[in-house]
Amino acid sequence: MLAMKSEYLPHYTYNDYKEWEGDWELIDGIAYAMSPAPTIEHQELNGNILLALRDAMKACKQCKALCEIDWKTSEDTVVQPDTLVVCNLQNKGAYLSQTPEIIFEVLSPRTKKKDRNLKYDLYASEGVKYYIMVDPAGMFAEVYRLDGTIYRMEGEFKTEEYTFTTDACSFTFSFETVFEDM
C-alpha cells in the first residue's frame, strides 16, 4: 500500500466547514465526522458535567460553562468540545474565538484516540489551562493542568473534588455529582 503524500489530501477551511451538513470537526484542514451521535450515557455524563460546573461557578459572574459549541482556533481548525468554561466572553457570534480555560471531553470508542492525542496536543498548543478526559467505561475523569506548554496529570477522580483556578475565579468541582446515578 502506498503512503499518501500530504499535498494529495484535501485541505478544508472554515468556509467549507460551515456549509457541511451533520456534525464535523476540522483540525489542520482535515475533516473528522462526529457521527453517529453520542450515546445516551455520553450525553448524561456531559449534562451532569455542565450542571455541576454551573453550580460550582455560581459566584463567578465572569465565567460561563457551555456545551458542544464550535471553537474556531484558525481558518482550518474548528472543534466542538463536549463542555468548556470560558471566562470574560468576548463575543457571542456563530463560534467561540477565544481560548477556553477548561475543556471536558467524554471519551467514546470512536473518538478516544483523537481526544487522547490530537485534541490533547491541540488544546495544549492553544493554551487551554485544564483538559479533563471523562472515561464512561471506568466512570472516572483524568484531570490535566497545563504547565508551560505541556499537560501534567493532576490525578484520576471518581468521587473527589478538585479546585480549578481560572484567570477570573477559583471554584471547587465535585466529580461525585458527575458520576452519581450512572
3: helix, strand or coil: coil
The pLDDT score that the predictor gives to residue 37 is 78
Whether the per-residue pLDDT at 57 is higher than 70: the answer is yes
Please, which pLDDT band fits residue 142 given cuts at 50, 70 and 90?
A: very high
pTM of whole model > 0.85?
A: yes
The pLDDT score that the predictor gives to residue 35 is 73
Task: For residue 18, give the C-alpha cell.
Answer: 460551515
164: helix, strand or coil: strand
Mean pLDDT of 145-174: 96
In order, the DSSP letters of 84-139 are: EEEES----SSSB-SPPSEEEEE--TTTHHIIIIIHHHHHHHHT-SEEEEEETTTT
CA 79 to each of CA 13, 66, 82, 91, 182: distance values in angstroms, whole numbers, following the listed order: 12, 13, 10, 17, 27
Please, which pLDDT band fits residue 92 given cuts at 50, 70 and 90?
A: confident
What is the average pLDDT score of the chain? Answer: 93
Mean pLDDT of 132-143: 96
Who contacts 72 (Cβ-Cβ below 8 Å, separation ≥6)?
A: 14, 78, 95, 96, 97
What domains can you pick out in the chain, each with its CATH number?
38-179 (3.90.1570.10)
The pLDDT score that the predictor gives to residue 164 is 97
Mean pLDDT of 12-39: 91
62: helix, strand or coil: coil
d(CA 180, CA 139): 10
Who contacts 8 (Cβ-Cβ below 8 Å, separation ≥6)?
A: none
